[in-house]
């Protein structure tokens, strides 16, 4: 998807090579990309390549960030950077020492609706934030194969929400209480994960947040956010493929939400890369930093601990 987006939407960026452990030459060349590599070292060794986009399994991110940093490449890396705060810190250190930049793939920060919510908050249109509500629900449970390497519901899925809370509020998270359970598929439970959860957060400025999570809606990708404050409320509702409405004897139907993150955050995926490459070109700092990734991972860790111990847990800052 990132390769497609660069080729189709970022005319000023030249995508020289894609590396994959199972490289698909035909597909790579069909996009007009000259080099199809089977190992990421081939990219890191190419002096023509200025920047890399890492979209590999999460448990390989830190190693690749360090290698890319040492090779002097500018780095865009998908979320989560790692499952442990210490590992994220290691990656940040490597990046800092190499003097390169790292942008993390918290794509919601580039979504037009999330940006409009943020803008309303910053403009003071809802006063001081008091309650933030986030709904994050996937259309279909993931393959069971994915569960063990996912990092768990909080680290893999809700990591976006932890970043959204920080982004929308402009504040840090102080304390977390998480209630989680297995309601969709007992197999997920046998693998040590959960599929349904509520996470309550207290921010350092006193505001409260609630995140509700589900791995399976059947009706599409449910992505809603509200910031309620002393002067009102601003919400981003679900987006839909079309804006049509059908009235018939059986009922009144509108479109279901976009089916998955691919359609829902289509514009955001392009915008985050546009921002990254603009930063590379102009030498400006990235809009989503390694520190942002670290903060989100620390919240996810506290949520995990809270659920296991069934008590609120302070977030390390």
For its own copies, the binding residues in 95-114 under the rule CB under 8 A are 112-113
Q: Which pairing describes strands 129-137 and 222-229: parallel, antiparallel, or unpaired?
A: antiparallel
Residue 19 and residue 37: Cα distance in Å, rounded? 4
Least Å distance between CB 89 and its own copies?
29
Q: Does 192 bind its own copies (CB under 8 A)?
A: no
Q: Are 184 and 196 in contact (CB under 8 A)?
A: yes
Q: How near is the Cβ of 145 to its own copies at its closest, in Å?
A: 22
- Of the chain, the end-to-end C-alpha distance in Å amounts to 34
| Binders in 145-174 for its own copies, by CB under 8 A | none
Least Å distance, CB 9 to its own copies, is 7
Binding to its own copies, residues 42-81 (CB under 8 A)? none
Between 176 and 288, CB nearer to its own copies: 176
Instruction: Give the x/- contact pattern for its own copies in 262-291, rule: CB under 8 A.
Output: ------------------------------
Do residues 255 and 241 make contact, with C-beta atoms less than 8 angstroms apart?
Answer: yes
Could you say whether residue 260 binds its own copies (CB under 8 A)? no
Stretch that binds its own copies, among 35-43, 56-64, 126-134, 290-298 (CB under 8 A): 126-134
Q: Cβ of residue 50: shortest distance to its own copies, in angstroms?
A: 20
State which residue, 257 or 279, has the beta carbon closest to its own copies: 257
d(CA 209, CA 173): 9
Q: Which of 132, 197, 127, 196 is nearest to 163 (CA)?
A: 132
**Which residue(s) pair with 21 in the sheet?**
none
Q: Which residues contact 256 (CB under 8 A, 6 or more apart)?
A: 219, 220, 240
- Among 96, 168, 82, CA closest to 132: 168
Q: x-or-dash pattern for its own copies, window 229-258, by CB under 8 A?
A: -xxxxxxxxxx-xxxxxxxxx-xxxxxxx-
Question: Binding to its own copies by residue 188, rule CB under 8 A?
Answer: no
Q: Is 1 in the site for its own copies (CB under 8 A)?
A: no
Whole-angstrom CA distances from 282 to 94, 204, 276, 277, 278 are 22, 34, 10, 8, 6
- Closest distance of CB 151 from its own copies, Å: 21
Q: In the beta sheet, which residues pair with residue 225?
A: 134, 236
Please pick, from the candidates 3, 9, 78, 171, the single residue that binds its own copies as defined by CB under 8 A. 9
Smallest separation, CB 289 to its own copies (Å): 26
Total number of residues that touch its own copies (CB under 8 A): 72
CB-based contact 225:134 (threshold 8 Å): yes
Interaction pattern, residues 204-223, with its own copies; x per rule: CB under 8 A: --xxxxx-x-x-xxxxx-x-
Is residue 313 part of the contact set for its own copies (CB under 8 A)?
A: no
* Interatomic CA distance for residues 247 and 51, integer angstroms: 51
Lateral strand order in the sheet of 102-104: 51-54, 74-77, 102-104
């Amino acid at each position: 998807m990132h390769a497609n987006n660069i080729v189709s939407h970022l005319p000023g960026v030249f995508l020289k090579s894609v590396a994959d452990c199972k490289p698909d030459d035909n597909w790579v060349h069909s996009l007009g990309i000259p080099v199809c590599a089977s190992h990421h070292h081939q990219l890191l060794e190419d002096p023509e390549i200025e920047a890399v986009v890492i979209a590999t399994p999460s448990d390989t991110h830190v190693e690749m960030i360090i290698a890319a940093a040492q090779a002097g490449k500018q780095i865009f890396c998908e979320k989560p950077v790692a499952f442990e705060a210490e590992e994220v810190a290691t990656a940040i250190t490597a990046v800092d020492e190499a003097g390169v930049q790292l942008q993390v793939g918290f794509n919601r920060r580039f979504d037009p609706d999330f940006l409009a919510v943020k803008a309303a908050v910053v403009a003071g249109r809802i006063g001081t934030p008091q309650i933030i509500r986030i709904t994050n629900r996937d259309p279909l449970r993931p393959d069971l194969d994915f569960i063990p390497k996912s990092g768990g519901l909080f680290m893999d899925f809700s990591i976006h929400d932890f970043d959204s809370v920080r982004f929308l509020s402009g504040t840090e998270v102080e304390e977390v209480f998480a209630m989680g359970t297995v309601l969709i598929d007992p197999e997920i439970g046998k693998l040590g994960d959960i599929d349904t959860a509520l996470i309550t957060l207290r921010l350092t400025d006193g505001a409260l947040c609630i995140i509700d999570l589900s791995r399976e809606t059947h009706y599409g990708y449910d992505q809603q956010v509200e910031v309620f404050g002393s002067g009102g409320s601003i919400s981003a509702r679900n987006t839909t493929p079309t804006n049509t409405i059908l009235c018939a004897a059986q009922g009144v139907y509108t479109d279901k939400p976009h089916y998955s993150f691919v359609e829902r955050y289509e514009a955001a995926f392009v915008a985050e890369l546009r921002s990254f490459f603009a930063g590379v070109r102009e030498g400006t700092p990235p809009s989503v930093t390694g520190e942002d990734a670290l903060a989100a991972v620390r919240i996810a860790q506290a949520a995990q601990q809270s659920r296991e111990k069934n008590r609120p847990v302070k977030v390390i800052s």
